[in-house]
Amino acid sequence: MYYWILLVIGVLATAVFLTLRVKRGGIAALYAKAVASLCFIATAVAATNHNRSFLGFGSFVTFGLICGLLGDVWLDLKWIYLQDKDSYLYSGFIFFLIGHISFVAAEYTASPYTKGSIIVSVLAALVFAVIAVNLEKPLKMHYGKFKWIVFLYSFMLALTMTTAMVTAYITGFQKMWVVMSIGGLVFLLSDLVLSGMYFGEGKNTKFNIILNHTLYYAAQFTMAATILCAK
């Protein structure tokens, strides 16, 4: 009951944030973004309270979402305090990186993983990270001094998705792992759009802002929903 109420509030808060972000920006949009992010954390807490058998899984997912909120704040401050934008961008990367480490930790608390499944998921994530970095020039992006953290983050981002996908396969596509795979995929798509906005030329458009944040919040709410689906 509480989960669904918080989810509705979260969707509405996200819509308000997107409106402010596109029309006004600034501190007002940052506050609205923080509220929307608090909502996906709240849905995770409600889901964990409902599904207490998976307390460890829920705790790791919730911590990952909290890191997402903090990463959101740092990345938005990048646009407000331009003189310190590199520091805020690094901070955003680091907190989202920690968030994905927490998501992967959550997956391994509940996954019936094997050595083979670990190897496949890690290799697939590594391939994605290598491709992401090497597509810099073809996609007309410039990572510069951020290239190393782009690679590291891309690996952990992909690992969240590949671990869920491989686990979904070995469990006969159990609901929680299918949902988490979708969350990981949507998260990846969101960051692909964001990467173009940050490191490409002429891609920081209103359309991409809306697309990026729509995908991002869909991903975070989906990650929170995995706790409710856990069995």
Task: Give me the pLDDT at residue 34, please.
Answer: 85
Average pLDDT score, the chain: 91
Q: How far is CA 165 from CA 24, 145, 206, in A?
A: 39, 32, 32
- Residue 187, Cβ density class (10 Å: 0-12 exposed, 13-18 middle, ≥19 buried): buried
The answer to whether 187 and 159 are in contact (CB under 8 A) is: no
Mean pLDDT of 188-211: 87
Measure the CA–CA gap between 38 and 184, rounded to whole angstroms: 19
Q: Which residue has the tokens 């496949």?
A: 120
Mean pLDDT lowest among 38-52, 180-194, 196-210: 196-210
Q: What percent of the chain has pLDDT over 70?
A: 98
Contact 213, 17 (CB under 8 A): yes
Averaged pLDDT for residues 68-87 = 79
Residue 68's pLDDT band, with cuts at 50, 70 and 90, is very high
Which amino acid appears at position 93 of this protein? F
Question: The tokens 């310190």 sit on which residue?
Answer: 84
Q: State mean pLDDT over 87-101.
A: 92
pLDDT band at 79 (very low <50, low <70, confident <90, very high): low
Q: At 154, list the tokens.
A: 């891309």
DSSP state of 136: T
List b or e across 170-180, with b for residues whose CB sees 16 or more CB atoms inside 10 angstroms: bbeebebbbbb
Judged against a pLDDT cut of 90, whether residue 33 lies above it is answered with no
Rg over alpha carbons for the chain, rounded to the nearest Å, is 17
Q: Helices marked H in the chain — which ranges?
A: 2-23, 26-50, 55-80, 85-110, 115-134, 147-170, 175-199, 206-229
In 3D space, the residue among 127, 136, 189 whose CA is nearest the CA of residue 159 turns out to be: 127
pTM, full prediction = 0.92
DSSP characters for 31-81?
A: HHHHHHHHHHHHHHHHHHHH-GGGHHHHHHHHHHHHHHHHHHHHHHHHHH-
pLDDT at 144 over 80: yes
pLDDT given for residue 200 in this prediction: 81
Q: What is the pLDDT of residue 31?
A: 84
User: Distance (Å, rounded) from C-alpha 36 to C-alpha 48?
Assistant: 19
Distance CA 34, CA 10 (A): 11
